[in-house]
Structure 1
Amino acid sequence: MAESSSYLTATADAYDAVADLYADLTRDSLDSLPLDRALIDAFAELVRTAGPRPVVEAGCGPGYLTAHLRDLGLDASGVDLSPALLAIARRDYPGLRFELGSMGDLKVADGELGGLLSWYSTIHIPPPELPPYFAEFRRVLAPGGLLLLGFFESEGDPVVEFDHKVTPAYRWPIDELAGLVRKEGFEEVGRMLRAPTENERFYHGRLLMRAS
């Protein structure tokens, strides 16, 4: 897909500037989030059951979730825009493959993947620009392949921009986001809304989708 470079560059630069702090804050985050961990584990189980296809974490950041997918028995790799975050991922998880690039232009053959994890990696994409990313996710997934999205939910409001700590981001109504994904060739398997923890501001949405 053709991409506008301005918001991609701004996002990469913003994460480069706080890479060490961001990695320290997120590295063990799953340990205190049992609902999130359970859903990611279920995603991995479904991918494993479907057959031995690789999985990509799109927007992998410092790589801790890519490593978690590997520990769950998946052939996992990651891609991210931020060179600084990728340097941390490669340092911390030297046995895994991490590539610099955009999740809107994945260097993956059509239908190659059994699963794709996008964990808060679409939140910085301006809403009009988002559908082609889901089309790209569908392109690289085999029929029946699974997509797991994590995002901030808007709690009944329309799509709303907010002051993310790194760079501006968007909160989505879960129904609207699910509808966008379905339009690009997916069917819904399941969803979850999680209330914010003590240190969080917003509800969190999760969508588990299957490539048709």
Structure 2
Amino acid sequence: MTAAYDAVAVRYAEFVRGIWDGDPLDRAAWAAFADFARGRGPVADLGCGPGHLTAHLRSLGLDAFGVDVSPEMVSLARAAQPELRFEVGSMAALDLPDESLAGILSWYSVIHAPPSEVAGYFAEFTRTLASGGHVLLGFFEAGDGPVSEFDHKVTTAYRWPLGELVDIAAAAGLAEVGRMYREPVEGERPFRQGRLLLRKP
């Protein structure tokens, strides 16, 4: 996955800048997440890519920083937002102390994880979140069907039934706060989009 995103980093940055800046429902989800996390401590944008959402979180008053497995993405993020902190790292093994985060944004960043590995990612979210911290997930939703693989163009990705993600999160110690769906907009994959807000008790 690292090599795949390194190879398309510049084109990817141009693509997502256009489609993620304007959707009102996405902005509402980010704003709600910010309201829960604001003033409680640092917030990690995991799988931050070129850093545009990290910057958006900072504009919402959060002490946000970004982590991505792709060095090329991190380089683009640092160049575009030199005032923010960006690090190369894996969501499966974050270089962060236990209970050090007030929030985690995971916006389409677990979609590439094989289903057998997602529980490990959620366990790492739980480890690094402080009590009362929140996670906001963005992902491709599978409706009533099973987890399904598809060609993401960059590398293999998966669509998830929202309820199954809730169950995996609960097993990792994260409780559901709220959920939202929206239909795809022009330029997106023709899949329903899911948003899931979780909390560590």
TM over 0.5: yes
Structure 2: which 5+ residue stretches go unaligned?
none
Q: Does 1:129 align with 2:114?
A: no
Per-residue CA deviation, residues 144-165 of structure 1 (Å, 9 max, x unaligned), is 1000000000122100000102
Match of 1:68 in 2: 56
Partner secondary structure for residue 115 of structure 1: strand
Quote the offset at 1:16 in angstroms: 0.6
Match of 1:17 in 2: 7
Q: Does 1:38 align with 2:28?
A: yes
Partner secondary structure for residue 177 of structure 2: strand
For 2:43 and 2:109, locate their aligned partners in 1 and report how far apart those are by CA, in whole Å. 15
For 2:132 and 2:22, locate their aligned partners in 1 and report how far apart those are by CA, in whole Å. 31
Counterpart code for 1:128? S
Partner secondary structure for residue 114 of structure 1: strand
Match of 1:88 in 2: 76
Q: Does 1:167 align with 2:155?
A: yes
For 2:192 and 2:145, locate their aligned partners in 1 and report how far apart those are by CA, in whole Å. 12
Quote the offset at 1:196 in angstroms: 1.1
Q: How many residues align?
A: 200
- Pick from 156, 175, 199: which aligns with 2:187? 199
Match of 1:210 in 2: 199
Counterpart code for 1:110? D
TM-score, structure 2 as length reference: 0.97
For 2:16 and 2:143, locate their aligned partners in 1 and report how far apart those are by CA, in whole Å. 24
Q: Does 1:79 align with 2:99?
A: no
Name segments (4+ residues, structure 1) moved above 6 Å. none
Quote the offset at 1:130 in angstroms: 1.0
- Pick from 142, 146, 150: which aligns with 2:130? 142
Percent of matched pairs sharing the same residue? 57
Counterpart code for 1:167? T
Quote the offset at 1:107 in angstroms: 1.1
CA-based RMSD of the aligned residues comes to 0.9
Partner secondary structure for residue 95 of structure 1: coil
For 1:203 and 1:71, locate their aligned partners in 2 and report how far apart those are by CA, in whole Å. 28
Per-residue CA deviation, residues 15-43 of structure 1 (Å, 9 max, x unaligned), is 11111000001124333211011110110
8 Å contact kept, 2:137–2:197: yes
